[in-house]
Structure 1
Amino acid sequence: MPWRFWATAASPPDDKEQPRQNESSILPIPAETPSKKDTFSFTPFQTVALSVVCTGTALGLIRVYKSHLRRIPTVDHLKPNHFRNRSLYGYVTRVGDGDNFHFFHTPGGKWTGWGWMRAVGKGKELKGKTWHVRLAGIDAPEMAHFGRPEQPFGKEALEWLKGSVLHKYVRVRPWRRDQYDRVVCTVYKRKWLVGKTDVGLEMIKRGLATVYEAKFGSEFGGKKEVYKQAEEEAKRRKIGMWQKPGLLGKLMGKKESSETPREYKTRMNAQEDAAK
């Protein structure tokens, strides 16, 4: 039995007793409060700047869509900024004469799915969805219509234009809208991978069209002199409508075509006026 004065002394440890935990260790640990540096917040200037950037981006995308990705179904939907300032890409659905055709606008071309995901349409489906294009700067021989006979090489010009652009994609640069609600355009078709061919100029070179001679409403897109030089070269080479028939051709009744489309129209109008 221990002495009384030993009562204040530490008793020997008992193996069954668990060491007493520090009171501070059993208290709940408060959650760490984030410091001001850890919180993420916008200053008033950053908020305004972000709003301006988002609004500007949205307006920019809308502008890109309206200018480059929205389809123009008819001539009535062409805006003033479409003329003389830009070119448009599309599909030729029908060729009506040697110098005009119907155009289906396909903005973005194959990159936006036209031709493999988005169909152009056929026949009656295209009613009210195309616009009438007149090739700028040229005049092709006339086909028979309104009781007038066919002009020599009118059929050849029509067949060449069909073979060149019908059911194919072309790029047009609109200049103006004429009195017949046609869009006067310079027309280009792709040549190889990066080149392009001026369809109107090619027709002049082949003797299948002349330089447009009317004083009113003529549009050349800055290529009048180029077109004139091509016509003079075709005349010199006597190809197309400038050629003279040989003996066999004369026996078959083939006529020499030295009359331009403008001269043909003037002669037909005079004959009709005289008949009246």
Structure 2
Amino acid sequence: MALISSTKNSDVQEENISFLHPKVILLSAGITLTTILSFKLYRQYLRPIRSILDLNPKMLENNHKLRGYVTRVGDGDNFRFYHTPGGIFWGWGWLKKIPTKRSILKNETLMIRLCGIDAPERSHFGKPAQPFSEDALKWLNQYINKRKVTIIPYSIDQYKRIVAKCFVWKWNGRKDVSAEMLRNGIAIVYEGKVGAEFGDNEDWYRNLEKRAKWFKRGIWSLGSNLMTPGEYKKVYYRGE
């Protein structure tokens, strides 16, 4: 009986010691580290951003890129964006499908306001439309709608839109959408002093505007009859 009892105690001790074996410790540490890194990877790169509440301050401060798909262009300087983290490598376009129903997209897309520019105002609430407002909408719709784009979010404006820089790939390279609108004279450099976001491109944007003005492209063809979007808002929305 004593021998049997001694053997059982020895087996228990060996079992207890086995949990402290270096290989077991290394395996446990590896699993824990892998789990932590996988969670961080998912949070930073693979978690879909579906609302402004999903954005953390670091994304707005560190030029964090979000890749996705334009589902609808709402105006001359804003659009709806469906975030597709990981792109084709995470299954988007073949394993995962982008919704097409507007009722679903409304709650799963981000409203993006192009940084650094203002497009002519369309007719709203009985107010007259500005010249070239429909041209700006048509141009932006043809340029980015139903296309893959990359955005860099900078801030959130008073209408809960994400003010962001937007890039789209064309046959001749990657294009800054705000810059292209300025180049074509269908937008001007943002006039407001509050909430203005340019990234590092304010000087470049202003030079593009000057060039469009010199060649009288788009809205600049109106000459002295031009009312900027900022002036329009003062007259028709603020009564100034």
Shorter-chain TM-score tier = 0.7 to 0.9
Q: Which residue of 2 aligns with 1:54?
A: 31
C-alpha contact (below 8 Å) 2:81/2:110 kept by paired residues = yes
Counterpart amino acid of 2:140?
A: L
SS of 2:42's equivalent in the other structure is: helix
C-alpha contact (below 8 Å) 2:19/2:25 kept by paired residues = no
Q: Which residue of 2 aligns with 1:71?
A: 48
SS of 1:83's equivalent in the other structure is: helix
- After TM superposition, the structure 1 = structure 2 runs for residues 33-182 of structure 1, keeping only pairs within 5 Å, are 44-85=21-62, 86-122=64-100, 123-182=102-161
Tell me how far apart the structure 1 counterparts of residues 123 and 81 of structure 2 sit (CA, whole Å). Answer: 23
SS of 2:61's equivalent in the other structure is: coil
Aligned equivalent of 2:210, options 232, 236, 244: 232
Tell me how far apart the structure 2 counterparts of residues 96 and 174 of structure 1 sit (CA, whole Å). Answer: 18
Tell me how far apart the structure 2 counterparts of residues 131 and 224 of structure 1 sit (CA, whole Å). Answer: 24
* Unpaired runs of at least 5, structure 2: 1-17
Aligned equivalent of 2:183, options 170, 180, 205: 205
| Overall identity of the aligned pairs, in % | 43
Q: Kindly provide the CA deviation profile for residues 116-147 of structure 1, in whole angstroms up to 9, marking residues without a partner as x.
A: 32111122221311111000110000000022
Compare 218-227 and 258-267 and name the one that shifted more.
Answer: 258-267
Compare 261-270 and 227-236 and name the one that shifted more.
Answer: 261-270
TM-score, length-scaled by structure 1: 0.75
C-alpha contact (below 8 Å) 1:131/1:182 kept by paired residues = yes
SS of 2:208's equivalent in the other structure is: helix
Q: Which residue of 2 aligns with 1:15?
A: none
Aligned equivalent of 2:165, options 177, 186, 195: 186
Tell me how far apart the structure 1 counterparts of residues 71 and 61 of structure 2 sit (CA, whole Å). Answer: 24
Matched, 1:260 2:228: yes
Shift of 1:257: 5.0
TM-score, length-scaled by structure 2: 0.86
Q: Which has the larger radius of gyration?
A: 1
Q: CA RMSD in A?
A: 2.0
SS of 1:95's equivalent in the other structure is: strand
Tell me how far apart the structure 1 counterparts of residues 222 and 105 of structure 2 sit (CA, whole Å). Answer: 42
Aligned equivalent of 1:196, options 170, 174, 182: 174
